[in-house]
Amino acid sequence: MIRFHKEGYKIITVALLLSVSGILLAENFIETLWLVKAVQILILAFLIIILQFFRNPKRVAPLNDNALVAPVDGKVVVIEEVEEPEYFKGKRLQVSIFMSPINVHVTRYAMSGVVKYSKYHPGKYLVAWHPKASTENERTSVVLNNKAFGDVLYRQIAGALAKRIVNYAKEGDKSVQGEDAGFIKFGSRVDLFLPLGTNLKVSLGDKVKGGVQLIAEK
């Protein structure tokens, strides 16, 4: 059974109503048969895109404090040592995962622990793979802490199409690996900032699945 994320309920309902109305209107007001079918196919395609975007497949996380899993579905587009200016104010290992509009857009906790920091930043809507997207786009930064990894920051970043970031993490909350931590609507990316020397289990270009794919381990 296909599950949908709660952030999509209103949009799915509106899209469904518009689709049904559009199909009926085309049937009643367009006389050319092939044109009726073409319009109806386009409407159904639009509905399918909306439904697949908000799908929320069930994932079973390893629940391993010594493992870090992907927070989202997507493609690993950056692995590099960078200066992280917001929270650490020092060198960290950045791993960035880009989500296309066809990816599942649920954000999941990469590890179990405690939420130490959670902050929203308004900003621009540069394309998500732009080098400055991590510091200039609309974004939310969240820091999780556990004994194995210490502090790990993940950053939800809006893209050119994403107009709303949803973040459920609040300071003091307990995070459970693989559980729902938020949602980014319509194209985006997530950056992870890890301790230097972290034992990574992914490479550039890898496609990962949120909540289950191993990113790093101790």
β-strand partners of 93: 81, 194
Cα–Cα dist 19/174, whole Å: 41
Among residues 96, 134, 175, 188, which one is catalytic?
188
User: Is residue 175 annotated as a catalytic residue, yes or no?
Assistant: no
Q: Which of 26, 70, 22 is nearest to 213 (CA)?
A: 70
- The count of other CB atoms within 10 Å of the CB of residue 193 is 23
- The rounded distance, in Å, linking the Cα atoms of 158 and 186 is 8
Q: For residue 141, count other CB atoms closer than 10 A to its CB.
A: 22
Radius of gyration over every alpha carbon of the chain, rounded to an integer in angstroms: 19
Active site residues: 188
